[in-house]
Amino acid sequence: MNRLSILKYDLVSIALYIVLVSFGIINIYSSSFNGSSMSLFDLSSIVGKQVIFFFLSLVVFIFILFTRNKFFDNSASIVYFLSIILLLGLFVFGVERGGARSWYALGPISFQPSELAKFGTALFLSKFLSIIQTDLKRNRDILIVLIIIVVPIILTTIQPDPGSALIFLAFIFPVIREGLNLNYFYFGLYIISTLILTLIFNFLVSIAILTIIFLTYLIYLRNKKIKVSLLKYIFSFFILISSSFSTNYLFENVLEQRHRDRINLVLGKEIDTSGIGYNINQSKIALSNGGFFGTGFLEGTQTKGNFVPRQHTDFIFSTIGEEWGFIGTLITIVIFSFLIIRIITRADKQPNHFRRIYSYCFASLVFFHFFLNVGMSIGLIPSIGIPLPFISYGGSSLLIFSLMFFVYLNFDSSRLKES
């Protein structure tokens, strides 16, 4: 590797990656701080484990850099099917933690195969979509895409780890990017808004609102003299109403009370600070305690008191908010969105389909994690157990996200070298 070739790497992204992981380690240190100072290299401490996984990731980095990118192309299906087998194996060899069988345990180190499945699915989906013959206008190919995504979803859902399962929905973005009819997207959006509308208001009110919007839209089309297939629209209207109705039905009869509570809390229909709303409320308290400048490293009273459950994993953002203040959270959000957008724009320049779609898959995964995790921490999204990439404590998560990031770097640098 000559000096010039180093410059062919996305150095800005590498810098941001190191910033995020280091910042994560600082906050994990603080949130697991128990009064006495802890060694950064002690495998028995939480922060020590994270540091060791970071170094492990850097070792992986070296390997990935020297790997020819054709290797990933070839091994895509192997990684995917391996991760599916590992997911299946959980039912036999898995270790139950927090009510979910999502872990393999090897001595002090445990491993979460659903993390690998994210990488596997990204590779395999990119591989399938990059095949020349694949045409997303064909129902058969749409079905295959659906199967690739849905299989890990089902396997993680029944662990049960609904949070991880939800993450696979991120792959909708690369699929749309690669030519899925936008109507699918609109229709999905439609259903989701109906869902939220029905949850916020009741069934009858939301139907009334939907009817008004629908009729206004029809009149708008009439005035524009756009030909309308009335039958089609009546059909879709019917679907809307029935989805509203079924949301109502699902919410009341299928979801358990705890799920209903979580949703109602976010919608502001319930106020509860001691029971089910405890996590989010404590997270909000920690954030507001941080104020503009934050309380400072190791000075967060909420963090010290362990008020926010899972504060070194899923709720790490509350520690950032308390100890580093609005400045800290703002910078974190800016770095994430900058990184995501940077990956997307650089992916778009990729001449190679496989590498482009993979980079896009990776950006989507980072975004989805970021969106759900931060949204949950600040009380905009119901409580879901999802880590914040690069920052949350978790060996599997850090290792796989690093791996995916390095693969992106590899692809990106080969674009620069080829051009």
Sign of the Cα pseudo-torsion (279, 285, 291, 296, in order): negative
Instruction: Measure the CA angle with vertex 376, ends 373 and 379; round to 5°.
Output: 150
SS3 of residue 336 by DSSP: helix
Q: Is 325 in the site for another protein (CB under 8 A)?
A: yes
Supply φ then ψ for residue 306, to 5 degrees. Answer: 55, 35
Structure tokens at 341: 């957008």
Residue 52 CB, nearest approach to another protein (Å): 27
Of 42, 301, 417, 418, the one binding another protein by CB under 8 A? 301
Encoded tokens for 5: 């070739």
Residue 96: count of CB within 10 angstroms of its CB: 11
Helices (H) and strands (E) in the chain, counts: 17, 3
Contact with another protein (CB under 8 A): which of 13, 126, 247, 289? 289
Give the residue with the Cβ less far from another protein, 91 or 338: 338
The rounded distance, in Å, linking the Cα atoms of 31 and 278 is 18
344 binds another protein (CB under 8 A): yes
Q: Is residue 20 close enough to count as binding another protein by CB under 8 A?
A: no
Encoded tokens for 238? 């019917």
Q: Which is nearer to another protein, 211 or 337 (CB)?
A: 337
Q: How far is the CB of 395 from another protein (least distance, A)?
A: 25
- 166 forms part of the interface with another protein (CB under 8 A): no
- Selected binder of another protein within 304, 346, 356, 369 (CB under 8 A): 304
Binding test (CB under 8 A) with another protein, winner from 177, 262, 346, 415: 177
Among 91, 208, 309, 418, binds another protein (CB under 8 A): 309
- CB neighbour burial string for 250-282, b if at least 16 within 10 angstroms, e if fewer: ebeeeeeeeebbbbbbbeeeeeeeeebbebbbb
**Are 25 and 31 spatial neighbours (Cβ–Cβ below 8 Å)?**
no
**Any idea what DSSP says for residue 102?**
E
Residue closer to another protein by CB (options 35, 107) is: 35
Query: With binding defined as CB under 8 A, does residue 321 bind another protein?
Result: yes
Q: What is the token pair recorded at 64?
A: 């990935």
Site string (70-109) toward another protein, x via CB under 8 A = ----------------------------------------
Distance of closest approach, residue 93 Cβ to another protein, in angstroms: 34
Query: Of 114 and 364, which CB lies nearer to another protein in the complex structure?
Result: 364
Binding test (CB under 8 A) with another protein, winner from 5, 183, 211, 345: 345
Instruction: Pick the closer one to another protein by CB: 321 or 395.
Output: 321
The burial class, CB within 10 Å (0-12 / 13-18 / 19+), for 91 is exposed
Which one among 22, 67, 77, 306 touches another protein, defined by CB under 8 A?
306
Best CA proximity match to 5, nearest among 406, 416, 349: 416
Instruction: Indicate which single residue of 15, 213, 341, 418 sits in contact with another protein (rule: CB under 8 A).
Output: 341
**Distance in Å from the first CA to the final CA of the chain:** 17
Per-residue contact string for residues 268-287; x = within reach of another protein by CB under 8 A: ------x------xx-xx-x
Residues at the site binding another protein, with contacts judged by CB under 8 A: 35, 173, 176-177, 179, 182, 185, 274, 281-282, 284-285, 287-292, 301-302, 304-309, 321, 325-326, 329-330, 333-334, 336-337, 340-341, 344-345, 348, 360, 363-364, 367, 371, 374-375, 378-380
